[in-house]
Structure 1
């Protein structure tokens, strides 16, 4: 009876899983994204000083060396991958990183 109640009333979406699948299926093929910073560290610090990016955005950008995946970055910084993906998209729009 509890199992029936669970099946009827609980929404069965896995939000964090959906983001992982989107990363894996980039462009309709299995892919791993490795973001790489496009600006030197001193320029990145100036961007931070002007307030264009936050301290956390800066911390994420420093991890973008072309070898760390978003999942690895999220584990290093100890934040969820959805937040990391949002920041990576923001940094890419600002032409600070390139997702390759």
Structure 2
């Protein structure tokens, strides 16, 4: 069952994750996921159980985007590096409040 479920990323790594309480009744379609502030994206579902460190998981996804950026556009080239750097700080408890606020603004 869903007892061990922590969160689901319903549309691949570029869409917002859904905490368990939102997963209970949402359908896996464009409109339903949009209504809960996520998205269908590539529909590559990522499931996280309670053993998952969400901050570490998001940091790894951030590194993936930093590494895979082609570097042509500034927001991707620079933004993914900043995102990864702040997530790494967050993992070890060294992120400043303004950096966390900046993550909220740019994501």
Please indicate, yes or no, whether the TM-score normalized by the shorter chain is above 0.5.
no
Q: Which has the larger radius of gyration?
A: 1
Q: What TM-score do you get using the length of structure 1 for normalisation?
A: 0.30
Q: Which has the higher helix share?
A: 1
Higher strand share: 2
Structure of higher RCO (CA pairs closer than 8 Å, 6+ residues apart): 1
Length-normalised TM-score, structure 2: 0.29
